Amino acid sequence: MVATADSMKIAGRKYRLHEYYELCKPRVVMLIVFTAIVGMFLAVPGLPPLSALLWGTLGIALQAASAAAVNQIIDRNIDARMARTCGRPLVTGTLTMTESIVFATVIGLLGFALLWALVNPLTAVLTQFTLIGYAGIYTLYLKRATPQNIVIGGAAGAAPPVLGWAAVTGEVHAHALILFAIIFVWTPPHFWALAIDRRDEYAKADIPMLPVTHGIDYTRTQVLLYTVLLTAVTVLPFATGMSGWLYLGGTLILDAVFLAYAVRLKWWPVPGLPMRTFGYSIVYLMGIFTLLLVDHYVVSFQ
Ligand code: HEM
Ligand SMILES: CC(C)=CCC/C(C)=C/CC/C(C)=C/COP(=O)(O)OP(=O)(O)O
């Protein structure tokens, strides 16, 4: 009997840990942190200093997770109205508001302190602005105010490579801004592909996402235009001498596939295609940043 009560307690604790984990939007944060780590590696010819790599990654990850938690705190009523998000811990009540606020504050402050004390103040301040940009400006205001919400708010999601670069060098370098531009231009096709699929849910929740305000066909056109622009922007690392032929070859293949998705979505849409396009956008961004990293070391160690 005692053993059963104990095992139930352990299972309960594990379940709560899992809920805190979900509050951090772990899969999104992992890709965000990956782009920051690539920024760190690209910032120097050899390997970045271990302490900047370690503490920079941890600090940026904690602040990104805090931003994701604040987003769920602010959005709990919207999340409750959409099938995609109604299982989140603050909607189901498995975490209370107090628990979530304390958690988001503690990890956010810890992230800021680590960056300030063990990395550099510039990275700490820029990461804090990024958190405010996503959790404050995008979530609290833009998301509810304009269909351009994710275009402007995308600046927060695009910042991590700049933060990673700053963690290693203490400066904001022009090459880091190219990485920023890639994610910035990638965000609209990434998100609008999903929003096409979830149009009715956003309409029900009264969120002015582009497919709700301007219709699905207009959104498909925008996805296509941003994908064309993205192809041009992803050539910049090669054009500026930051990356070599390996990067260019790989990126053009990834771009061609993304363009094929966007063209099909615009002129030959079939059910399921928006979500496949969304899924590909994630593979695409992972691919671009992996190519940047591999190319950097192939070129550096030649
Ligand atoms: C304002 C900018 C962005 C918006 C509005 C946006 C929106 C979304 C939404 C609504 C989802 C679905 C989440 C879910 O079903 O729980 C999602 C998933 C995802 N996003 Fe984004 N996103 C943005 C930027 C980013 C950035 C910058 C990254 C990474 C660098 C990213 C990576 C991902 C990943 C990996 C997923 C899949 C998560 C999963 O499998 O659960 N997103 N995004
Ligand atoms: C380094 C640092 C502080 C980074 C913060 C940037 C960050 C966490 C960006 C996340 C982007 C994202 C998942 C947006 C979706 O929000 P949404 O509210 O539109 O999506 P939802 O409906 O799934 O909640």
For residue 2, pLDDT beyond 60:
no
Ligand 1 closest atom vs CA 84: 15
For residue 289, pLDDT beyond 80:
yes
Whether residues 151 and 209 fall in one domain: no
Q: Given this model, what pLDDT does residue 4 score?
A: 77
Whether residues 74 and 196 fall in one domain: no
Whether residues 159 and 192 fall in one domain: no
Q: Given this model, what pLDDT does residue 299 score?
A: 66
For residue 58, pLDDT beyond 80:
yes
Average pLDDT over residues 111-140: 98
Q: What is the rounded distance in angstroms from the CA atom of residue 273 to the CA atom of residue 261?
A: 8
Whether residues 41 and 104 fall in one domain: yes
Task: Please give the ipTM for the structure prediction.
Answer: 0.95
State pLDDT tens for residues 234-253.
Answer: 999 999 999 999 999 999 99
| CB-ligand 2 contact for 60 (6 Å cutoff) | yes
Name the residue at shortest CA distance from atom 11 of ligand 1. 191
Ligand 2 closest atom vs CA 130: 3
For residue 274, pLDDT beyond 50:
yes
State pLDDT tens for residues 157-212.
Answer: 999 999 999 999 999 999 999 999 999 999 999 999 999 999 999 999 999 999 99
User: Which structural domain range is residue 25 located in?
Assistant: 19-172
Q: Residue 35 belongs to a domain with what CATH number? A: 1.10.357.140
Q: Given this model, what pLDDT does residue 82 score?
A: 96
pTM given for the model: 0.95
Whether residues 128 and 177 fall in one domain: no
